[in-house]
Amino acid sequence: MRRSISIVVPCFNEEENVPAAYLALKKVFLQIKKYSYELVFVDNGSLDKTKIQIHKLVKNDKNVKGVYLSRNFGPEASIQAGCDYVTGDALIVYECDMQDPPEIIPLLIKKWEEGFDIVAGVRTKAEENAVMWNIRKLFYKIFHFMSNIDVPVDSGSFALIGRKAYLAMKSLPEKYRFFRGLRAWVGFRVAYVKYERKARIHGVTSANIFQYVKLAERSFFGFSYLPLDVLVYAGFFLTVLSFLFIIGYLLFFFSFGNPIKGAVTILVAIVFFGGINLLAVSVIGKYIQVIVEETKSRPTYIVERLEGRFKKQKL
């Protein structure tokens, strides 16, 4: 029996890209005839005709399946939903905007055939707005520095993940999920394939700077304790510095009188230490937010309906 590969395609307002992505992916797998395949399109609460486009594909091609979420649960949830419904010996996450060239997929498969459990794509260049490209690179560099796991710089969600690895990821109970972080956390043998990311051809991206900030929060507070460590060391340093300042001030006062007059210095000190306290409380509050999200035990997503020939997952 031929081994199978599942392709998870998250979609949000991609009515123009769904047919194009389908044709491009099908073309790739018609050339790789030794594997059977399934295309799992995940609609993340789209407001355009994305659902209709997916429905047409499911109706006309038995290899296509549709997972429709009840609303937009965010990009991480749509990836997780697809991973929960695949049945292949390996899965590939492919974003529907088609900025990741599907021609790279055979290279991912080749590395998998060599024995690697995870093969991630690494972007060396991107045909996009220079500001967003640099912001994204800065995010990856900061995350790489701060996190307690090894996540390569410029590695997005485009990757091939073998069965052992994606079942391990699926078994993780946390709700506050960051796909790229979990992919690195589970371990296994990892390889990388470098490629150049293309410009979006159809439609307009729904991502904005605020979504990138939220994604950064999800990654930092989900996979790093460095902010708490920094606050501990900063608090210790400021406490020692304040103690030395008080001792020095008292010695100077008894020797030469009051060296500091007026309320400006007092105001500056209050503002400075007040800002430090507010920052510390905010960081701790973010970690508490993660704890609250986990203890609620709400599902990561809710499926409105499924379309296609879904099979029970192989274990």
- CATH annotation of 4-218+299-307: 3.90.550.10
Number of CB atoms found within 10 A of residue 154's CB:
20
The least confident of 86-95, 177-186, 206-215, 219-228 is 206-215
Which of the pair, 188 or 152, is modelled with greater confidence? 188
* 220 against 110, higher pLDDT: 110
- Segment 184-189 shows an average pLDDT of 81
User: What is the predicted pLDDT for the residue at 314?
Assistant: 45
| 8 Å CB contact between 150 and 99 | no
How far is the C-alpha of 8 from the C-alpha of 11, rounded, in Å? 10
Q: Which amino acid is at 298?
A: R
196-215 confidence digits (pLDDT tens): 777 767 656 655 566 666 66
pLDDT at 73 over 50: yes
**Distance between CA atoms of 293 and 70, rounded to whole angstroms?**
20
Query: Looking at per-residue confidence, does 234 or 132 come out higher?
Result: 234
pLDDT-derived band of residue 239, with 50, 70 and 90 as boundaries?
Answer: confident
Q: Report the chain's mean pLDDT, rounded to a whole number.
A: 77
**What is the pTM for the complete model shown?**
0.70
Phi, psi of 153 (to 5 degrees): -65, 140
pLDDT at 81 over 60: yes
Considering Cα of 270, then 271, then 274, then 280, what sign does the dihedral take?
negative
Q: Are 127 and 197 in contact (CB under 8 A)?
A: yes
The residue extents of the domains of the chain are 4-218+299-307, 226-296
Greatest mean pLDDT among 144-148, 179-183, 235-239: 179-183
